[in-house]
Structure 1
Amino acid sequence: MRPPDSHPSRRAFLGATGGVAAAGLTAGCEAHSAPSDKHGATASPAAPVPATGRHQAGITLPQPAQPNLLAVVADVRDGVAVGPLLAELGRSVGTLTSGTDARLLGLPPGDLTVTIGVGPRLVRTVDPSLPGAADLPPFPRERITPQARGGDLLIQICAGDALVVPIVATALLDQAGDRLRERWRQSGGRGPNVPVAKGLSAPRNLLGFVDGIVGPHTTADQQRHLWLAGPAPVAGGTLAVLRRMELQLPRFAALSVTEQEAVMGRRRADGAPLSGGTIASDPELGAKTPDGRYLVPADAHVRRANANVVGAGLMLRRSYSIAEPAAGLLFASFQNDLRTFTSTLTHMGSSDALLQFTTTTASATFLMLPGFDRQNPLGSTLFG
């Protein structure tokens, strides 16, 4: 059983999950259950995503990302052996994603992925010099309680079937029992996917704009910007940043479409940069109007967060829209250098027009563990 001081309760969570799913329909999210054909028959569940391999699933795979997510952030209680706990969770991830676990209650897992990361405190117990040992610094426009900052363990559960997500969360947390103390959790959904390039799409968010267009989407870019090449204990992993943000939707919605596009630096209808081209085009940040004004305003989000302007690497972003505790976004970025995120947000903080509509209410960073298999359990390279 989970400890009595965990929160929220499973009953509260199940209610919240239903609320998010219902709210997602009004927010333009995809259908959160298996689609039906024109005769009313339920379509086959999505193809399974292998849990084992060099990298954990749920980061670059599947593409596009599943429409439903639950992120659970917890602490490992004092005296708990981290290695055996992770190995045990990894074995359960294998049985749950393969559909051989009775705790699924007969539901097919479909494209279920479970991705697990460890926080800086646990990494420092192994080696303070390893990637993932550094905490995130505080940033402007934060309203974060101590309970919602940091954490030892991230369990990210994603699936096409909304019913699978809470069932898997319950199975994993019950298995961990009193070895974990939950800090916070957040459910989210992704909106309809918009084609960006061959084999690549991105969803719309609660602001109505396509989210996650730029990133390390090719294998070469992922090796350069996403995956950790070493040291050996972390090779094949990556660094995650998780931030929950409230959005001031009424203020943003009160702007004209032209004003909204100036905040973002892209057209709302098709995602193309204001400098021209298509959704896949790089913004031409030097392009100006005949009277000398930048086509992409100086404080536009795509300019202030641009990797070349910041002088940082690329982040792989998987953002989810949320309805509770307030309308907003659960922002997740993956990168092989934490400075990619911290430098970008520092640069944005000085004059990014988008930030005036956001308040961050939870924040953490995690080393997303390297991949695993039967011979090499989850976490064994670090805690074996």
Structure 2
Amino acid sequence: MIRADDRPSRRTLLGAASAAVLTAGCSATSDQPPATPVAAQAIPPTGKYQAGITTPRTPQPNLLAIIADLPSSAVPPASAVGRLLAELGETIVALTTGTSARLLGLAPGDLTVTVGVGPRLVRMAGHTLPGATDLPPFPHEQIAPKARGGDVLLQLCATDPLVLSVAAAALLDRAGDRLQERWRQSARRGPAVPVADGLTAPRNQLGFVDGIVGPHTAEEQQRNLWLDGPAPVAGGTIAVLRRMELDLGRFAALSTAAQEAVMGRHRDSGIPLSGGVVADGPDLGAKTPDGRYVVPAGAHARRAHAAVVGVGLMLRRSYSIDEPAAGLLFVSFQNDLRTFTATLTHMGNGDALLPFTTTTASATFLIIPGFDPQRPLGSTLF
């Protein structure tokens, strides 16, 4: 969709037309065929872990999250949940490999579909399993009952936004009346900023680079991201989704220096106020000559810092949204829900960013371990 401010001006169109006329003579005598866009590389849907978390390494620019419930207030038999998940897995393979007629001729490209189950379903498999705990309420929330929690998460990501709604319709049709949608959110990643070798992070609607620090190496991911047990959940992870409205007008009214004091990083580069390079964490002990912290006490980079909170790293994915209001969809993956809850609790104690946010939807899910033809999706649990 082209926004009004993205439409080319009359001068731009005339300039483009003139350029086309000037180059037409050269093009007519050229033997070079017209350039064709490079197709997005397919992401294998099967394996030890589900796709769409660390693969691809640079997340696709478009996301559609669908949160749904099993229709009955009573917990269904585990075998019924198992059949539903297995069928969703079959559909995911057909969609991502391009063998499904439901794609309507669209190329799947780098489509990934990641499936999670909410605490109510996890408790069917075991009350003490990771993922069995609901998220508690937090400050700065205005969440309607329908937008809190949920039984099933379908996270679809792709470079081509058209593929997302088509694939989502195919998955929901396969589920039939066994799933009832609670809410959905379309979102997109902002412009990518290089962070480290082969690693980028997007800008958010506040203008800052978002999601710089995280478990990016295989060792960090094994320690902070993936569940290594118990056996039914090994190869899974815990996801948290939070939809937030941002008070862009009030934040934009601040000076650049005041905005940077809220975030703890420089807006133009993403470098911590304490210096270094963009990939660095802030030096929380650095002080000015008059004894003030260079990274202010209330800065988001300090209040949410894993070492300060005393938790592991979370793999954060922030996507910009403009419906139902300007804001972001925050998605984090971690192997311990406390990583998120303790961080947000610590932020609630003085994080300068929180007053500019209002959370309007919230849920947590156990991302099921990966699957393959011999091990259907969800079979380790149900």
**1:331: which partner in 2?**
330
Q: 1:76 aligns with which of 70, 87, 96?
A: 70
> Residue 125 in 1 paired to residue 124 in 2?
yes
Are the equivalent residues in 2 in contact too, given 1:24–1:323 (CA < 8 A)? no
Gaps of 5+ in 2: 8-31
Deviations 1:112-167 (A, max 9, x none): 00000000000001110100000000000100011000000000000000110100
**2:105: which partner in 1?**
106
> Residue 61 in 1 paired to residue 55 in 2?
yes
Are the equivalent residues in 2 in contact too, given 1:372–1:378 (CA < 8 A)? yes
Q: Distance in 1 between matches of 2:180 and 2:341?
A: 28
Name the SS of the counterpart of 2:165 in structure 1: helix
**2:349: which partner in 1?**
350
> Residue 365 in 1 paired to residue 364 in 2?
yes
Name the SS of the counterpart of 2:330 in structure 1: strand
Name the SS of the counterpart of 1:353 in structure 2: coil
Name the SS of the counterpart of 1:289 in structure 2: coil
> Residue 159 in 1 paired to residue 163 in 2?
no
> Matches of residues 311-322 of structure 1 in structure 2 within 5 Å?
311-322=310-321
The structure-2 alpha-carbon separation of the partners of 1:108 and 1:24, relative to structure 1 and needing over 3 Å to count, comes to farther
> Residue 203 in 1 paired to residue 198 in 2?
no
Name the SS of the counterpart of 1:171 in structure 2: helix
What residue identity is the alignment partner of 1:284?
D
The structure-2 alpha-carbon separation of the partners of 1:99 and 1:23, relative to structure 1 and needing over 3 Å to count, comes to farther
Q: Distance in 2 between matches of 1:23 and 1:50?
A: 37
**1:226: which partner in 2?**
225
**2:259: which partner in 1?**
260
Q: Distance in 1 between matches of 2:162 and 2:134?
A: 34
The CA deviation at 1:39 is 8.5
Name the SS of the counterpart of 2:127 in structure 1: coil
Report the TM-score, using the length of structure 1 for normalisation.
0.90
Q: Distance in 1 between matches of 2:319 and 2:34?
A: 29
Are the equivalent residues in 2 in contact too, given 1:247–1:358 (CA < 8 A)? yes
Deviations 1:239-284 (A, max 9, x none): 0000000000000011111110000000001100000111012211
What residue identity is the alignment partner of 1:227?
W
Q: CA RMSD in A?
A: 1.5
The structure-2 alpha-carbon separation of the partners of 1:309 and 1:237, relative to structure 1 and needing over 3 Å to count, comes to same
Q: Distance in 1 between matches of 2:36 and 2:88?
A: 31
Q: 1:50 aligns with which of 41, 44, 49?
A: 44
Identity across aligned pairs (percent)? Answer: 71
Are the equivalent residues in 2 in contact too, given 1:119–1:133 (CA < 8 A)? yes
> Matches of residues 22-41 of structure 1 in structure 2 within 5 Å?
22=3, 41=35
Q: Distance in 2 between matches of 1:157 and 1:111?
A: 10
Name the SS of the counterpart of 2:380 in structure 1: helix
Q: Distance in 2 between matches of 1:352 and 1:40?
A: 52
**1:170: which partner in 2?**
169
What residue identity is the alignment partner of 2:66?
V
Q: Distance in 1 between matches of 2:307 and 2:193?
A: 25
Name the SS of the counterpart of 1:178 in structure 2: helix
Q: Distance in 1 between matches of 2:137 and 2:161?
A: 33
The CA deviation at 1:104 is 0.7
The CA deviation at 1:44 is 2.4
The structure-2 alpha-carbon separation of the partners of 1:177 and 1:257, relative to structure 1 and needing over 3 Å to count, comes to same
**1:183: which partner in 2?**
182
Are the equivalent residues in 2 in contact too, given 1:246–1:326 (CA < 8 A)? yes
The CA deviation at 1:377 is 0.4
**1:33: which partner in 2?**
none
**2:288: which partner in 1?**
289
What residue identity is the alignment partner of 1:134?
T
The structure-2 alpha-carbon separation of the partners of 1:149 and 1:350, relative to structure 1 and needing over 3 Å to count, comes to same
Report the TM-score, using the length of structure 2 for normalisation.
0.90
Deviations 1:265-321 (A, max 9, x none): 000011000001110122110101111111100000000000000001100001100
